Amino acid sequence: MYPLSEYGSSNKAGKAHFMTYLGSLNAALSPTFLERLLRNATGKVFLIVDQLRAHKTPEVAAWVASHGDRLGLFYLPRYAPALNADENLHDDLKGKVNVAGLPHSKVEVRSRIQDFMRKLLHLPQHGMSHFEHPSVQNAANMDM
């Protein structure tokens, strides 16, 4: 497995936000992604996130608190991937990245991830479909 990942988010309007990075998600990357997300957002952003350690470090908590006027985080219960709409996005991504066979390099993995996510930016209906599973309807029906 290549140490290349994507950190992304989608919302019930079908908009997707993502960044790719090498290595594992850590406390330094979470604020970087959140800063980029807020840069393009109008109004307050509410995110439903899992209990990954990188989302809950003291450094991340301090960063989120300092941006509380623009950002609210809500944590899913531990070990509840079925409740996370982004898990549907990740499953979709993994299927598309590997459809042409396994990638042979980090460059190829990154290219395939970015191609898929860029296409998703122009297909809001496809992004919205990640919220159609009954287990994530609570997120799809939230008005914030």
pLDDT tens per residue, range 17-48:
778 777 778 888 888 888 988 887 888 888 87
Sign of CA dihedral 71, 15, 25, 40: negative
This prediction has a pTM of 0.68
* Residue 105 and residue 6 in contact, taking contact as beta carbons nearer than 8 Å: no
**pLDDT per position as a tens digit, 83-94:** 666 677 777 888
Q: Domains of the chain (ranges plus CATH)?
A: 4-139 (3.30.420.10)
